């Protein structure tokens, strides 16, 4: 164990200053409290482990009030970390139910039809995805369309769904404004790129999948596009934070 006053290399990546690893913070190893949960690759975590962990998180958040729910994360969330850690057997849902980690606000089916500008609404919407290279286009009548390789994927939308995707990812703590190891300041980046599904968006979404869908009963490939199921959870987490 290491006293909170000291920094150790636990946040992912080889160098101690993994750049802009989480929530626009540099040097993630200097910014985080690390907790090691020991378990084999096929051995479930025990109930006493999780009960102890929840208590530890609650104590840490009381001692350090700046630790918001979206800052309770795994290596899988951190740029330069490990997709597979803490792994598919880690019960994030138990932490969410205990109020010790970020979980999604719920939507009725009818309410979700109105979200994402209507991109995922109706039978056609259930089949749609947002993927690398897609971008929003603002139309003269005030509506939005999504274009992919010069073709219209959806039109008549009330907002740009790609822009919402990037906004949700960034608010939770991921960095869609990344190009390799370089990261642009978000407010400047979004002026030109908020409506584009670029490489940074794809990488940030993969980290979100690793946390929220890499689970024993619900494993989602890390590089999947955004479908209605993922959009529902992503927006739900965003709404938990923003109300």
Which range is least confidently modeled, 19-28, 61-70, 110-119, 234-243?
19-28
pTM above 0.75, yes or no: yes
Could you report the per-residue pLDDT of 169-226, keeping only the tens digit for each? 999 999 999 876 677 889 999 999 999 999 999 999 999 998 998 765 666 667 889 9
Contact 45, 89 (CB under 8 A): yes
Question: What is the rounded (10 degree) CA torsion for 27, 28, 30, 31?
Answer: 120
Q: Residue 217 has what pLDDT? A: 60
Spacing of C-alpha 49 from chain mean position? 25
Confidence grade of residue 51 (pLDDT, cut at 50, 70, 90): very high
Range with lowest mean pLDDT among 6-20, 103-117, 156-170 = 6-20
With left for phi above 0 and alpha for psi between -120 and 50, is residue 130 left, alpha or beta? Answer: beta
Residues in the chain: 243
**Domains observed in the chain:** 1-103 (3.40.80.10), 109-242 (no CATH)
The DSSP secondary-structure symbol of 4 reads: T
Cβ atoms within 10 Å of 10's Cβ, excluding its own? 15
- The β-bridge partners of 25 are 22
- If one counts every other C-beta atom within 10 angstroms of the C-beta of residue 45, the result is 17
Reference 46, options 89, 75, 88; nearest CA is 89
Question: In this predicted model, which residue has the larger pLDDT, 125 or 219?
Answer: 125
**Report for 18-32, 75-89, 167-181, 203-217: range of highest mean pLDDT:** 167-181
Predicted local distance difference test score (pLDDT) of residue 16 = 47
| Tens of pLDDT, residues 38-49 | 886 778 899 999
Question: Beta strand pairing status for 214-215 and 182-183?
Answer: unpaired
Alpha carbons 4 and 199: distance in angstroms, whole number: 35
The set of long-range contacts for 107-111, using a CB threshold of 8 Å and a minimum separation of 24, is 107/232, 107/235, 107/236
């Amino acid at each position: 164990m290491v006293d909170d006053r000291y920094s150790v290399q636990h946040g992912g990546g080889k160098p101690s200053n993994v750049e802009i690893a989480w929530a626009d913070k540099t040097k993630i190893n200097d910014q985080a409290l690390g907790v090691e949960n020991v378990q084999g690759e096929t051995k479930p975590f025990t109930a006493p482990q999780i009960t102890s962990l929840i208590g530890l998180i609650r104590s840490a958040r009381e001692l350090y009030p700046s630790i918001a729910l979206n800052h309770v994360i795994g290596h899988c969330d951190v740029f330069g970390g490990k997709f597979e850690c803490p792994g598919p057997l880690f019960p994030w849902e138990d932490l969410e139910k205990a109020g010790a980690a970020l979980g999604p606000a719920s939507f009725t089916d009818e309410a979700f039809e109105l979200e994402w500008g209507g991109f995922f609404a109706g039978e056609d919407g259930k089949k749609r995805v947002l993927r690398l290279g897609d971008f929003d286009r603002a139309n003269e009548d005030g509506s939005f369309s999504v274009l992919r390789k010069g073709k219209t994927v959806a039109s008549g939308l009330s907002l740009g769904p790609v822009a919402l995707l990037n906004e949700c990812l960034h608010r939770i703590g991921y960095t869609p404004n990344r190009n390799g190891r370089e990261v642009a300041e978000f407010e400047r980046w979004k002026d030109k790129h908020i409506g584009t599904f670029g490489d940074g968006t794809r990488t940030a979404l993969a980290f979100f999948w690793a946390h929220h869908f890499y689970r024993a009963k619900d494993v989602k490939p890390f590089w999947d596009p955004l479908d209605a199921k993922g959009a529902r959870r992503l927006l739900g987490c965003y709404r938990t934070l923003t109300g």
